Amino acid sequence: MTSTSDRLIDFLEEHSTEFLHNWRDKIVISEEDLYKTEVLRNGLRMYELVKRAIRNPLSEEEIRMLAYKTAQERVEANVNISEFVYNVNVGKSEIIKWVSRSGIEWDALQRYLEEINSLFDRFSYLAVKQYTDIRDKQLQEKELYIDQTHKERLTILGQMSSSFVHEFRNPLTSIIGFTKLLQHDHPDLPYLDIMQHELDQLNYRISQFLHVSRKEIIESKRETINLADMFDDLVEFLYPSLLDGDVTVKVDIDRDLNVSGNKDELRQVFLNLVMNSIDALQQVPGERELKIHSTVKEGMLHLSIINNGPQIEEGTINAIFEPFYTTKELGTGIGLFICKKLIEKHGGEIMCRSTEDETSFTIGLPLWSEVTFVKEKI
């Protein structure tokens, strides 16, 4: 006497071609699928697994092999996993349809139906999990690669800027020196003050590169800096650019506010931010306003540089601090990157908020505490 399971298996064996045919007609599979023919074979393999499961419950190991194999193929074929899940489900319905037509009484069929359901559930789970794991791993590798190239680009920038700084700094220093001598010998010579001012600007621009070019900044000198004085100085320094750009400045900083930090570096940060604001304001047809103000909260200084310029889209706010991100024809995209590094080195943080009405860059710096300088990692 043959057992129910043997009868069922025989029945499925007789109808395997029809099953495959029906399944093939219903599944979603692209003509370009790398593993088009393999998909059909996998269908048959699954059919074999069903037959074995009817005989004996399957171990996870047995299901895993086929699940991992198909997952790998789906990744390589670059197919959305939902198509795969759909095809597996079509297979399951087809098989259940055939099983229920086997002529075996319903009660006797129940345990086989349960076994088949469980086989398909476990198979889908393992395959989808494996598919996601492979995809995640690929993504991580991609990110690692991007990180790597990012670092390489920074190294190139470092090399570029060291030679840049060398080649430009030396003649510049001597030009600045000779201009001073000229002014000393001929105090009435016209245009010298303008030349000096422009040379100073150039010098500052160049030192921007200096900050990125030094891989590890030697502990920089720290001193007490009066913020209001520093901004008076900056506004004076930038006066020609402000005038030229038609920008009105309002500085509102408590005259008693002192921070401890490196003067050159903080000046560099504020200079970058103010110059960016002037640039952004050029897009405003009406009044161009630049506001600088400070507040103190819980031992932290918050210094904001605000302009009523164009909005920075939500999606780009983080990108602007990345090196080389620029929207300007002649931009370098390293200004904000350097600002962030220098502020972090001072134990602070820099944030940007932008609405339709105004864009603000706010720097938070610890006021009184003895901050240890964070060694710069670039």
DSSP string covering 189-202 = -TTHHHHHHHHHHH
Distance CA 304, CA 345 (A): 19
For residues 29 and 79, is the Cβ–Cβ distance under 8 A? no
Provide, rounded to whole angstroms, the least separation between the CB of residue 82 and ligand ADP: 38
312 touches ligand ADP by CB under 6 A: yes
Q: Total number of residues binding ligand ADP (CB under 6 A)?
A: 21
User: In angstroms, rounded to a whole number, what is the distance separating the alpha carbons of residues 68 and 144?
Assistant: 25
Pick what 359 binds: ligand ADP, Mg ion, none; C-beta below 5 to 8 Å, kind-dependent.
ligand ADP
Q: Judged by CB under 5 A, does residue 87 bind Mg ion? A: no
Q: How far apart are CA 5 and CA 11, in angstroms?
A: 10
Q: Does 217 bind ligand ADP (CB under 6 A)?
A: no
**What is the side-by-side strand order in the sheet with 289-297?**
248-252, 289-297, 300-307, 359-366, 349-354
Of the residues 43, 91, 245, 335, which one makes contact with ligand ADP according to CB under 6 A: 335
**Tokens describing residue 167:** 């080649």
C-beta of residue 88 within 8 angstroms of C-beta of residue 28: no
Residues 261-290 that bind ligand ADP (CB under 6 A): 272, 276-277, 280
By a kind-dependent CB cut-off of 5 to 8 A, residue 277 interacts, out of Mg ion, ligand ADP, none, with ligand ADP
Q: Distance between CA atoms of 361 and 203, rounded to whole angstroms? A: 24
Among 223, 331, 353, 368, which residue sits at the site for ligand ADP (rule: CB under 6 A)? 331
DSSP-derived pairing of the beta strands 289-297 and 300-307:
antiparallel
- List b or e across 274-294, with b for residues whose CB sees 16 or more CB atoms inside 10 angstroms: bbbbbbbbeebeeebbbbbbb
Which range binds ligand ADP by CB under 6 A, 82-90, 243-251, 253-261, 325-333? 325-333
Q: What's the N-to-C CA distance of the chain in angstroms?
A: 79
Window 310-349: contact mask with Mg ion (x via CB under 5 A):
-------------------------x--------------
**Is 245 an interacting residue with respect to ligand ADP (CB under 6 A)?**
no
Q: Which is nearer to Mg ion, 262 or 272 (CB)?
A: 272
336 binds ligand ADP (CB under 6 A): yes
Say whether 248 sits in a helix, a strand or coil.
strand
249 binds ligand ADP (CB under 6 A): no
For residue 358, give the nearest of 250, 281, 271 by alpha carbon.
281
Which lies closer to Mg ion via its Cβ, residue 11 or residue 164?
164
Q: What count of residues does the chain have?
A: 378
From 31-39, 133-141, 144-152, 330-338, give the range in contact with ligand ADP by CB under 6 A. 330-338
Does 332 bind ligand ADP (CB under 6 A)? Our answer is yes
Which residues lie near Mg ion (CB under 5 A)?
276, 335
Positions touching ligand ADP (CB under 6 A) are 272, 276-277, 280, 307, 309-310, 312, 320, 325-328, 331-337, 359
